[in-house]
Amino acid sequence: RDWVVAAFNADRPFDQFLREQIAGDLLPTDDAELRRQRLIATGFLTLGPKVLAEVDETKMEMDIVDEQIDTLGRAVMGMTFGCARCHDHKFDPIGTADYYALAGIFKSTRTMDSFTKIARWHENSIATEAELAAKAEHDQQVATKKSEIDSLVAAANEQLKQSLGEGAALPDKPETQYPEETKQRLKQLRDALTTLEKAAPAMSTAMGVTDGDARNVAVHIRGSHLTLGDEASRGWPRVLSHDTSFNIGETESGRLQLADWLTRPDHPLTGRVFVNRIWRWHFGRGIVGSTDNFGELGERPLNPELLDWLTVEFAEQGWSIKAMHRLMMLSSVYRMSSTHDPECAAIDPENRWQWRAGVRRLEAEAIRDAMLAVSGTLDPTMGGSLLHVGNREFIFNHTSKDETKYDAPRRSLYLPVIRNHLYDVFQLFDYTDAGVVNGDRSTST
């Protein structure tokens, strides 16, 4: 979250933003801090609803791959891929071979460290130079203490061997026959070593991904990993690419190539989808009304020429999100009044063509933030966490001793989102399911 906020505030070009979220760990850099930030960015692929106690490990892995494909497809490409896990898409030209070409990329990506019992996600080290120096110093202290113990044991064994006479073998447990003074000294050293090892300096880590064992995935007949068909080479949907030579090396997952393809100048779909999201944010409805679905079951663009023009402007402005916000907000359509016009209303009663400014209710987060702001209690502090358990430790609902508190005056962006115990204000004002992509919130009040 903090990485995303900083990236938007710095107006990081969206193509670079996207490349870092998909393949930040694979982007070359000699800048240690930039490397740390890019590793944090890959948390985009780790987050989401993941069952961590699935008995069938292979199914769990493929479920995680499916969630990653679905998230990337809806959020970035405006397409639904999920049904192609079991059969060719019934409406869009996406076949099972296309789905499993993408699946190979994410199966070749290490998202989890373990799939047994309670699974464990992967964490990338983002240790700072100070942390690495502290660890090196601590490791040296541990090594010195172990060397001191080894020297004492070696000397005591030699002394014991001499006392037993020439040719005699040491007993199985020689320490039992050490002099009492030696025993006490050895215990002191071992206790000190235990204390020292427990005091190891903390090293910063971040949920994220890295490349795993590169492999292609066979088509799963009807979505079952127990019934396999032909192997699908790693890649992306051919219907969206003029060049079907994906150039993914045998030892590469393909994430970097996927990120590069999504942000190519001659691949306008990514820009269209994101520009449409910005338009939807400002006007309440996208040029394509189905924000997450540009496919056959989605809505046709109301003004395709405008969408294409905005997409070209977005690219020519260096994928600057702030520049696109400025362009839309300085437009005459954004500055329309909300005055009713009977003649326009007769032609376009739903205001689809934006002949007046639409009146919209604030989102749940903005309602809460506005109340705090007008009362003078809003805390503008940025970054950090309000969870009172350790970072990424489990937290449960209101029946738990670790009950989540929502009384902090921070912006709603920082409030914990507990899936089985959502904040009451959020529930009341149509807060969306944070576990899935949802570009179009409903409004019931």
Residues 31 and 138 in one domain: no
Domain boundary among 360, 393, 418: 360
**Rounded-to-integer distance, Cα 135 and Cα 98, Å:** 46
Read off the pLDDT band of 127 (50, 70, 90): very high
Read off the pLDDT band of 21 (50, 70, 90): very high
Residues 191 and 142 in one domain: yes
Spatial CA neighbour of 212 closest among 114, 91, 331, 325: 114
Q: Flag whether pLDDT at 355 surpasses 60.
A: yes
- Where b means 16+ CB within 10 Å and e means fewer, 172-191 reads eeeeeebeeebeebbeebee
Q: Flag whether pLDDT at 147 surpasses 80.
A: yes
Residues 143 and 193 in one domain: yes
- The pLDDT of residue 118: 67
- Classify 94 as helix, strand or coil: coil
Residues 114 and 149 in one domain: no
Candidate ranges 99-103, 294-298, 400-404; pick with highest mean pLDDT: 99-103
- The pLDDT of residue 2: 95
Mean of the pLDDT values across residues 214-227?
94
List, in order, residues 6 or more apart from 317 with CB less than 8 Å away: 323, 324, 327
Residues 315 and 336 in one domain: yes
- 38-47, 185-194, 313-322, 380-389: range with lowest mean pLDDT: 380-389
Residues 115 and 221 in one domain: yes
Q: Using DSSP, how many helices (H) and how many strands (E) does the chain show?
A: 14, 8
Domain boundary among 179, 203, 227: 203
Residues 383 and 422 in one domain: yes
Domain boundary among 148, 169, 203: 203
Residues 38 and 154 in one domain: no
Domain hosting residue 166, numbered range = 128-203
Residues 10 and 119 in one domain: yes
Mean of the pLDDT values across residues 145-168?
87
The count of domains in the chain is 4
Q: Summarize pLDDT for 231-270 with one digit per residue, the tens.
A: 999 999 888 877 777 889 999 999 999 999 999 988 899 9
**Rounded-to-integer distance, Cα 122 and Cα 281, Å:** 34
Residues 154 and 133 in one domain: yes
Residues 285 and 344 in one domain: yes
Residues 355 and 282 in one domain: yes
- The pLDDT of residue 394: 62
Q: Summarize pLDDT for 380-423 with one digit per residue, the tens.
A: 999 988 877 666 666 655 555 556 778 889 999 999 887 777 88
3-state helix, strand, coil in the chain (%, to 5): 45, 5, 50
Tokens 């690219």: give the residue: 315
